[in-house]
A and B are shown apart, each in its own frame.
Chain A
Amino acid sequence: MKPSNEEPYGYYPGCSLEKNALAYNESTSAVANVLGLKFEEVADWNCCGASEYLALDILPAYALISRNLALAASSSGSHSLVAPCSACFLNLSKVDHQMAEVPALASQVNEALAAGGLSYQPGSITIRHLLDVFVNDVGFDRISSLVTHPLYELRVAPYYGCLISRPDYEGVYDSPEYPTGLDHLMTALGAEVVDFPLKTHCCGGHMTQISEPVALELIRRLLQNAHEYDADVIATLCPMCQLNLDVYQEHVNHAFGTNYHIPILYFTQLIGLALGIRAKELGFGREFVSAKRALAKIGKARPAPKKKRKPSKEALPMPQATEVEYR
C-alpha cells in the first residue's frame, strides 16, 4: 500500500543499521532526502531477535517481534512499516502473517502484549522491504529522471539474498528465485547489470558463527559467481549479506587461495552516487573491501550500444528474445 503524499512511512531500522550497517542507514536517509520520502522511525523499537530467538522459545520470540508491530500501529498515522534489513523484514512480516492465519496464536501473542499495555491487530499495517518502496512506489522512471551522475560502465551484480523474495508473505516479488526489481533499478541508474545466477542464494546468515568452513564455502560461491560475470561490485540490500560477503572476503581468499576484490555496496549507496550525493554522506569508506577502484571505472559518457552479432549464414534461425520490460 503506497502511503498518500502526506503520510510518512513507518521505519524500522533494526539493530544492524545502528552500527555495522551504518552505511545503509546513512545512504537511505541521504537518498530519501533527495526523493522527498518521509520515514518516521518507530519510537523505542526493539531487536527482532534475528534467527536466534525462534530457535529457543517460540512465544517470547513472537512477542518480541510483535511489540514492534504494536508500537508501529499505534504511533503516527502511518499504515506501513518499512524495514531495510531483510531479516527484520522477514520476521515482522512472518509474525503479522501467521497471527492473521492462526487466530489462537494471535490471541496468545496479544495476551503477552497486554502485560505491557500493548496490542496488535494482525494485518493493520503493511510490512515492506525498502527495495519494494524504491521499485514500486518511487519507480524506475522517476529515479532515472533524477539521475545526474549515471553509473555508466559500472558492472553491477544485483544480489537479493534469501529473505525478501522468500517466502514473500505479502506476494510482492516476481519470482522467489530470480526476481528482477533490483536489476531494473540499477539499469535505471545507468549501470551495466550483469547476469547473476546466484542472486537469491544464501550468504550463510549466522553460519560464520556455527561452522566457519560451511559459511566460507557459501560466501565463496557467491563471490566466484560475481567474478565469473566480471562484476565490478555486488549491490546488496541486507546487512547480513553485506557483512558476510564484505568482512569475510579476505578470509575466503585466505581459505581458498583466491584473490577476490569485489566491493559489496548497499543499493542505496549506488542510487545516492547516481543522484549526485557526495560519497562521504553515503557511508562510503566503511566497507572492508574498498570501493575506490571500482568507482573510478564509472564512465562519463554513455557507452555505445552493443552491436548485435550477426548470425552466420550457416546457422539455423534462433528464437528471438523479446525486449525486456521494466518490472
Chain B
Amino acid sequence: MSTSKTAATAGMAARWLAALKTPVGAVSAAMLLSVLTLAVLAPILWSGQAEEINTRAILQGPSPEHPVGTDSLGRDLFFRLLVATGLSVKLALAATGIGVCVGLVLGAVPSLLSRRIGRLVTAFVNIAVAFPGLLLAMFFAVIFGVGQTGAVLAIGFATAPSFARLTQTLIATQSERDFIAAAKLAGVGRVQRLIRHILPNIAEPLVVTATIGAGSSLLAFAGLSFLGLGVQPPAYDWGRLLNEGLNDIYLHPMAALAPGLAVVIAGLAFNLFGEAVAKTLGAPTPFAGKGAAPQRVRPTAVESSADVEPSTSSRESSAVLTVSDLFVSFPGPAGPITPVRGVSFSLAQGEAVGVVGESGSGKTQTALALAQLVEYPGSVTASRLEFLGQDQLSSPSPAKRQLLGTSFAMVFQDPMKSFNPTMRIGTQLAEVAQRHQGMNRRQALARAADRLRAVRVPAAERRLRQYPHEFSGGMRQRAMIGMGIMGNPALIVADEPTTALDVTVQQQVLRLLSTIKEENNVAILLISHDLTLVGQVCERVLVMYAGRIVEDLPATDLAERSLHPYTQALLAAVPDMETDRNQPLAVVPGRPADPSNVPAGCAFASRCPKADDHCTREDPQLVQQEDGHRVACWHPSRGTGQRVSVELKLPAAALQGEAS
C-alpha cells in the first residue's frame, strides 16, 4: 500500500519540483526560503540590537555603522528591519490561515447543507467578493478594534470570500465527475464524500492560491500598520517601520524606502512562487493569460533511409499528395517520443483513403504533419512531401502557402475547437476566401452562403449571421466542411469527423463527404478508429500500428483478403449485426506499443499469434504484395480475422503483462 501511496504523491511532488526548474520558480523559491528563514531566526538573533536605544545617534542617515540609519530613539533600523520580518510574516500567515479556514467552510457549506441554505451562503459570498478587500478590512478593523488582533481578523475575513468562491467552484467541478456519483451510489455520505473524494482532488490548487494569498496579506497588513490600524508600538512590523520612516522622508529617505522594499520583496516571493507552481499545474492564474498562437513546425527534408516505395497506385502521375518516410517526434522526459515512424503513401485525384488504428497509433499526428500543423516542440521530417506536384520540403513561398490555403482542407473531430466562438460563421468562412482567393467581402460572403448550401445547411443566409454555438453538432461539422470547400480543394483531410456525432447524423456527414468527392473530384483522407465506417466510404484503407502503416489494401479486400494479423484481429474484434451472440467476442490481447518505447522487431509481436523469433528480431518493411496491396509482416496470410484469443477467465495473467 505504502509504495503506491508514494506513487500518487510522487506525481504531486514532481509537479512542485518542476516549478523549481523554471527560472521564475527557482528565484522565487530561493527568495521565499530566505524570507521564511529570516522570519524565524531574526527575532531570536537580533532582538537585542534592534531594541538598543542610543540617544546620541538619533535619526541618522545611512552610515557604515548603521546601514539603513537610525530612528527617533537612535535604534538601528537595519536590525529592526530584519527582526520585523518575523512579526510581518507571522501576521500575514495568521491572516491567511483565517482566510483559508473561513473560506473553506463557506465554500464547502453549500455542498453539505440543504439547497436553500446553500444558495443563501453562495449569495452572501458573491456579495462579499464584490466588496473591495481593503475597505472590508478597514470595516472589520473598526469592528474588532484597532490593533494586531483586529487587523489579523480583518484581513483574514477580507480574504475569505474570494477563497470561498474558489473552493465552491473547485468543489462544483469535482462534484460533477462520475466518481462522486459512484461514491453516492456506494452510500458514502456528503461529509465523507467531501473529505475523501473532493478535498484531496482540489488541495493542490487551494494550496497554490493560499501561497499567493499570503503575499497579498503581507501587503495588506503593511498597509494597515502603515495607516496605524495594525501593529501598535512598541511592537513593530514593516508597515509600522514604514509609517515611522515616512515622517522624515525628506531627510532620511532610506528609513522609509527600506521597509517598503522589504514588503515588496517578501510579497513577491510568495506571489511569484505560487504563480510558478500554478503554471506547472496548468491552473489558471490572473497572469497566465492566453499565450500567442501555438508555434507550428515545418517539415524538414531527410535522405530516404531505405528503398521505400511511397506509392502503390499506378496513378502516380495524377497524385495529389505523395509522402515518403514521414517521421513526427516530440521531446519526452525519457528520450524522444515518436508517434509517426516512417509513413509513406500517396493519394490520387478523387481517391478516398481511410486511415485506421487504435488510439495512439499516430493517425492524428500523421494528418497534422501533412497539413503542416504539428506544434512546437515537435519535429517533422520526410524524404519526400509533395502536394499537387509541389515540393513542400523546400523553403516556403507565398505561392505555396496560397496553394495549401486553397487546395488543402482539414476537418477536425471537434469543430467547436476550430471555429472562433466569438465570430459569426459567415465572417469566418468569408475570411478564407478573402485571404486566399482575393475576393472582396461581399463576394466572399456570397461564396460562403453558396458553400453552406452545398453542405446542406438549411437557411444558409440566415445561418451566416449566427455564431458557432448556435449550430448543432452535426451542423457545425457541416459548416466546417463548408469552410474546407470555400476554395477548390484537391484534398480534404478529415480526422475523426463523425466520432462526436450520432449514427444518423454521422451518416449525413459521410454522405456529404462522398458527394463532394464525386462532384468535385476531391481526394479524401478519412481518419477513424472505426474500420467498418472507413470500409464503407473509402476505396483504399491504410492500417496504422505504432506509428507505421502495417497494411495498405483496397477497401473491398478488407472483409476477406487482408494479410496482416493486426488488421485481421481488429476486424474480428468489431461486433456487427451478424455476430454470434452465444460466442464470446474476439479480442486483441495485450495493449498497444508505447510510442516512447517501441520494441525492436515487429511492434505487434507481443500481441501477435503468429509471432516467432524472426519477428522479434527484425522489423518487417512495408512491401508490395500485389497490385494495390502492401503489407509489413513476415508471415502474411489471407484471413477473415480469425479469433485471436477468446479465453475470458485467463487474461488475469495476460493482463499482468499488460500493466506498464
- A and B interact: no
Residues on B lying within 8 angstroms of A by beta carbon are none
Residues on A lying within 8 angstroms of B by beta carbon are none
